[in-house]
Amino acid sequence: MKTFKIGGVHPDDSKLSANKEIETLALPEKAVIPLSQHIGAPATPIVEKGAHVVVGQLIAQATGFMSANIHSPYSGTVEKIDVAKDAWGLPCPSIFINVEGDEWDESIDRSAKIDRECRLTSEEIIKKIADAGIVGLGGACFPTHVKLGIRPPAKADVLIVNGVECEPYLTCDHRLMMEHGEELLIGISLIMKAINVDRAIIGIECNKKDAIEHLEKLAVRYFGVEVMPLQMHYPQGGEKQLIDATIGRQVPSGALPIAVGAVVQNVATCYAVYEAVKKNKPLIERVVTVTGDKMSNPCNLRVRFGTPLQMLIDKAGGLPGEYKIIAGGPMMGRAFSNIDSPTSKRTSGVLVLPKEKALRGPEENCIRCAKCVSACPMGLEPYLISTMSEMKMWDGVEAAHVMDCIECGCCLYTCPANRPLLDYIRMGKQTVGGIIRSRAQKK
């Protein structure tokens, strides 16, 4: 079985909710829709205070090229447009909605009927994706229409679909593959048509045997779509690692996957593309795994954006004592600082870690065991970058290729001395990124 070649770690996969079917969460009474749910400029609101909105109505428009539309996941009245604290306690302009009933926009096809026909051209598909406000649902939230709008001379020859879900605990992609395999494959065919390739590979780690078998059975009916089982190996869901694992091409430093002719899309994104193109349904909800070792009911929930975090946690069994709540998986997710914050396109999972698991061990001297060097999937030297960053030696940090770091956390995960390697590397990456930008401006 294939995997990527450099570094990586093997955390315990802890997929507690792997066999739980996707449930739909009830609607909240009040919802907060952040205007920045993607990489790039926040969207511009186009509704006013007091306006009546319906589900699927465009409420904020993409600002410029690198941005994404936002649609109302609810029907009701706009209470206000104001700054709200986001999941990490930072102020973010948001639209507050008082939810009244569940009235949908008429153009949306809500039937479960599967529609395989497609007569749209590449441009029309990408236009529909852009209109629907779809972003990469793997966690980075890169606007999908930007990724698919490949500009010549760059040319894609393969679409890689990320069903790896290498993060421990998370099972939302797994469940989506099991329950919406057919829709997913149609979504994949649509994207293949949009970027004009005739080959797609769905990479799935071997801890999801049922999903591999299920999709292999379905994929025979779709031309050029291949299911590839992969070894369990974190961070295989990273774009560069996944391309290396599936087609053995390495994306050069600083380049995008298109440089080696590959486009990577998460399975949840492919499903959203199906819904947008075939059902006219914008991106207003996603599947979120709510889990944790001490939770009584780890589950997979279909959640509309803007639902308060508290509702998700209550559904999974409530909070146990002192805890850390993480948006996403335990390796790359960010800790919530605010339990009232809304879910957004970014929220792939909600993981509740009890105190004893949440705290780091005592920090000791670096014993130069080189475990971080062996674990780094980008072939960097985390111990060196972090020390230089701590000493503010920015030239050295840049020369050590800090910008290649994908912040996967393997170094800190393996460090026996519990050194805050990634914390310092992130600091170095941010500072060096700023230095590089200002240098470019001076020229």
Contact by Cβ (8 Å): 54, 329: no
Residue 57, SS3?
coil
Which residue lies nearer to another protein by CB, 156 or 326?
326
Instruction: Convert 94-140 into a string of H (helix), E (strand) and C (coil).
Output: EEEEEECCCCECCCCCCCCCCCCCCCCCHHHHHHHHHHCCCECCCCC
Q: Is there binding between residue 207 and another protein (CB under 8 A)?
A: no
Count CA within 13 A, CB hemisphere, residue 84: 23
Contacts of 26 (CB under 8 A, 6+ apart): 311
CB of 57 to another protein, least distance (A): 34
Which residue lies nearer to another protein by CB, 103 or 157?
157
Build a one-symbol-per-residue string for 293-332: x at contacts with another protein by CB under 8 A, - elsewhere.
-----------------------------xxxxx---xxx
The one segment of 71-79, 106-114, 137-145, 400-408 that binds another protein by CB under 8 A: 400-408
Contact by Cβ (8 Å): 250, 244: yes
Which residue lies nearer to another protein by CB, 334 or 437?
334
Build a one-symbol-per-residue string for 137-176: x at contacts with another protein by CB under 8 A, - elsewhere.
-------------------------------x--------
> 65-91 burial, b for 16+ CB within 10 Å, e for fewer?
eebbbbbbbbbbbbeebeebbbbeeee
Measure the CA–CA gap between 43 and 63, rounded to whole angstroms: 5
CB of 59 to another protein, least distance (A): 30
Interacting residues with another protein between 216 and 275 (CB under 8 A):
240, 244, 249-253, 255, 260
Can you name the residues that pair with 84 across neighbouring β-strands? 92
Which residue lies nearer to another protein by CB, 187 or 349?
349
Build a one-symbol-per-residue string for 92-121: x at contacts with another protein by CB under 8 A, - elsewhere.
------------------------------
CB of 174 to another protein, least distance (A): 19
Contact by Cβ (8 Å): 319, 354: no
Interacting residues with another protein between 362 and 381 (CB under 8 A):
364-371, 373-374, 376-381
Q: Is there binding between residue 86 and another protein (CB under 8 A)?
A: no
The two structure tokens encoding residue 41: 């400029």
CB of 342 to another protein, least distance (A): 16
Q: Is there binding between residue 409 and another protein (CB under 8 A)?
A: yes
Considering only residues 102, 109, 340, 423, which one is a binding residue for another protein as defined by CB under 8 A?
A: 423
CB of 335 to another protein, least distance (A): 4
Which residue lies nearer to another protein by CB, 118 or 335?
335
CB of 367 to another protein, least distance (A): 5
Q: Is there binding between residue 407 and another protein (CB under 8 A)?
A: yes
Measure the CA–CA gap between 436 and 443, rounded to whole angstroms: 11
Closest CA to 126 of 68, 183, 70: 68
H-run or E-run covering 255: none
H-run or E-run covering 332: none
The two structure tokens encoding residue 153: 């001379």
Strands (E), 217-297: 225-230, 262-266, 285-291
Q: Is there binding between residue 24 and another protein (CB under 8 A)?
A: no
Count CA within 13 A, CB hemisphere, residue 327: 24
CB of 302 to another protein, least distance (A): 25
CB of 360 to another protein, least distance (A): 7
Binding site for another protein (CB under 8 A): 6, 9, 11, 168, 240, 244, 249-253, 255, 260, 322-326, 330-337, 339, 351, 353, 355, 357-361, 364-371, 373-374, 376-381, 383-384, 401, 404, 407, 409, 412-418, 422-423, 426
